[in-house]
């Protein structure tokens, strides 16, 4: 009989902690840097578990969850959606910087030097990795990673474990914000792209004036050299603009979590 009573008391506790872990785990999976290949999986699991225990201990009151399997599945889906939505807010900013690097690198002729990015486990141009490193450094230097965790932890005070209901409006909000990724990428890459377009026009005119010149070899050297010089000159503006993008994560994640 005592074992039965202990089970009745421990089961709601275990389910509540599992829901908290689900929300935090999907935050870590969706957010950049946290879900990267460079972070060992066991360390990530340990961080999520410790945070979950701390969150549960800080909650004033936890609602007893329904033990019906269908209710638990729906609750887990809501927790996963909230955590992933918070992580995707930062992922959009990282993707904007990486896309800008891709847009710069290909016209410069660096598309042939693609290498594997350990953060995303995918192939990317050198300039894309370079801008990705800049935004990652700003992400941690400005403590935005702590902001993400803080907002998700505070969301438990409003929506307790298992109380999240996924709303389709959240997906529309993320889609609208995601569309900003492309405009931000073009604005980041614009200084270098303008210079590269001028180089292409100049080479086109040279091809008409001196058709015997081997422009295939010349264009590689000129595009890479001038493109890198333009990137070096534009670095201060790129860092300033990227800093603004990183700081926009905080109001963005606040808006996304309020929409649940």
User: So where are the chain's domains?
Assistant: 2-258
Sequence-ordered list of residues with C-beta below 8 angstroms from that of 2, at least 6 positions apart, any chain: none
- CA-to-CA dists, residue 48 to 19, 52, 103, 139, 162, angstroms: 12, 6, 36, 20, 17
Residues of the chain with pLDDT under 50: 1-5
Per-residue model confidence (pLDDT) at position 37: 61
SS3 117: strand
Per-residue model confidence (pLDDT) at position 86: 86
Per-residue model confidence (pLDDT) at position 6: 52
Count the neighbouring beta carbons within 10 Å of the beta carbon of residue 251: 10
Per-residue model confidence (pLDDT) at position 1: 39
Q: pTM score, two decimals?
A: 0.78
Per-residue model confidence (pLDDT) at position 114: 63
| Phi/psi-derived region of residue 212, left when phi > 0, alpha when psi is between -120 and 50, beta in every other case | alpha
Adjacent-strand bridge partners of 181? none
> Of the candidates 84, 86, 126, which has an alpha carbon nearest to the alpha carbon of residue 105?
126
SS3 249: helix
- CA 236 vs. chain centroid, Å, equals 23
| Nearest-angstrom CA–CA distance, 13 and 129 | 43
Q: What angle do CA 242, 99, 141 make, to 5 degrees?
A: 30
| Nearest-angstrom CA–CA distance, 252 and 130 | 25
Q: Are the C-beta atoms of residues 75 and 21 closer than 8 Å to each other?
A: no
Q: Are the C-beta atoms of residues 84 and 34 closer than 8 Å to each other?
A: no
| Nearest-angstrom CA–CA distance, 207 and 222 | 14
């Amino acid at each position: 009989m005592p074992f039965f009573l202990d089970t009745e008391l421990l089961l709601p506790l275990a389910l509540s902690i599992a829901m908290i872990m689900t929300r935090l785990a999907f935050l870590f999976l969706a957010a950049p840097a946290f879900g990267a290949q460079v972070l060992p999986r066991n360390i990530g699991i340990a961080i999520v578990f410790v945070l979950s225990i701390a969150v549960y201990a800080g909650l004033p009151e936890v609602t007893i969850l329904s033990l019906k399997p269908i209710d638990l599945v729906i609750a887990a889906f809501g927790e996963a959606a909230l955590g992933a939505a918070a992580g995707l807010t930062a992922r959009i900013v990282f993707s904007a910087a990486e896309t800008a690097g891709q847009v710069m690198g290909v016209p410069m002729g660096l598309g042939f030097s693609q290498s594997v990015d350990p953060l995303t486990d995918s192939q990317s141009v050198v300039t894309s990795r370079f801008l990705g490193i800049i935004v990652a450094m700003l992400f941690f230097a400005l403590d935005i990673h702590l902001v993400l965790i803080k907002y998700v932890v505070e969301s438990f005070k409003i929506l307790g474990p298992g109380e999240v209901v996924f709303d389709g409006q959240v997906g529309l909000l993320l889609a609208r914000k995601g569309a900003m990724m492309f405009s931000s990428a073009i604005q980041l890459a614009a200084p270098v792209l303008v210079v590269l377009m001028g180089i292409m026009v100049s080479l086109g005119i040279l091809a008409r004036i001196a058709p015997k010149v081997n422009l295939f070899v010349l264009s590689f050297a000129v595009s890479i050299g001038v493109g890198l010089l333009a990137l070096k000159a534009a670095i201060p503006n790129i860092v300033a603009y990227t800093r603004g993008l990183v700081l926009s994560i905080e109001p963005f994640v606040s808006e996304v979590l309020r929409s649940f």
